[in-house]
Amino acid sequence: MSVTLVLGEDAIGQRLDKALVDAFARSEAHESLSRSQLARAFAAGEVRIAGRKVKASFRLEAAGVCVELRVPAPAPLAHARPEAIPLTVVHEDASLLVLDKPAGMVVHAGPGHDSGTLVNAVLHHLQVHADALPVLPGNGPERPGVVHRLDKDTSGLIVFARGLRAQTVLAEQFRDHSIDRAYLGVVLGRPSFERRRLETTHGRDPADRRRFAPDQGTRRAVTTMEVLRPLGAHAALARFTLETGRTHQIRMHARMVGHPIFADPLYGRRPKHPALRRLADGLGRHALHAALLGFAHPDGSGRLVLEAPLPPELAALVAALEAI
């Protein structure tokens, strides 16, 4: 990606890297720019002012500065390799595999995660190499069999395809939102409502590019949040049903209604109550679990609906919160 940007008065005194991220977030003419993309551009000497290379720490002294930027393509990731990692298999047949992913495990390789992924474990379980499983158009060889993903610290149900037809049929259902998906989450505070349908837009948060915000972008994000029961005086157990499946959608919407997912460091806040702080610090993950997954089976045999209970650490959290 190559682009030229003219920075305005609001960039004066800022570091160039921050000024560029902010400028891209506001621009309707360009795609958003991630911090990793920008870091690659600076490292490769591909950020220039008046033809001269500049560093990320360069501070602007005037408005109207023209910045030329080219983002190098990331180094390609290698094919995934089988690794002997334990799996919890919820359903398996000739077309697909449904797993209960533990928190702390990424789905596929990426920067900083070239092994120990769910894909590595799936390849070992199926006793196949990566080229035996299909890859969706636009994805790399590090994603064999992948149809969708869960955040690293979200546990729960995820489906892998064993063949191209199964992957194609499942991916179409995700695209047209005919998949049934429900999550259980512990939220901070006790909501005043029992059920609320949350429909917003979804885009990068200009205040923190790692997050998404409900007042940015143009893509729809729709979640129904149902409060199942209070957990003591300071938390509640909620069910989140997805109509769309945007990145961080539930975490974004929980933050929006003022009841973030418990122990979510990106979208939440650290509890003030000492006992809650201890629970959050000791949990080692955020309290969100993909509890239900339903879809039309690719072989035409009917609809498959699967459920996974809360993992032990979240069940223990629920019990501990009920006592506070």
Structure tokens at 167: 């992957």
CB 270 within 8 A of CB 277: yes
Distance between CA atoms of residues 141 and 78, nearest Å: 7
Helix/strand/coil for 173: helix
Q: Backbone dihedral region of 183: left (phi > 0), alpha (psi from -120 to 50 degrees) or beta?
A: beta
Q: Which long-range contacts (CB under 8 A, 24 or more apart) does 206-209 make?
A: 206/22, 206/25, 206/26, 208/266, 209/21, 209/25, 209/32, 209/34, 209/35
Q: Out of 100, 151, 153, 264, pick the active-site residue.
A: 151
Is 215 an annotated catalytic residue? no
Residue 278: CA atoms inside 13 Å, Cβ hemisphere, count? 5
Helix/strand/coil for 296: strand
Residue 66 identity (one-letter amino acid): C
Name the strand (E) or helix (H) holding 223: strand 219-231
- What residue ranges in 71-179 does DSSP mark as E strands? 89-92, 96-101, 155-161
Task: Classify residue 14 by burial, with Cβ atoms within 10 Å: 0-12, 13-18, 19+.
Answer: middle
Show which residues are catalytic.
151
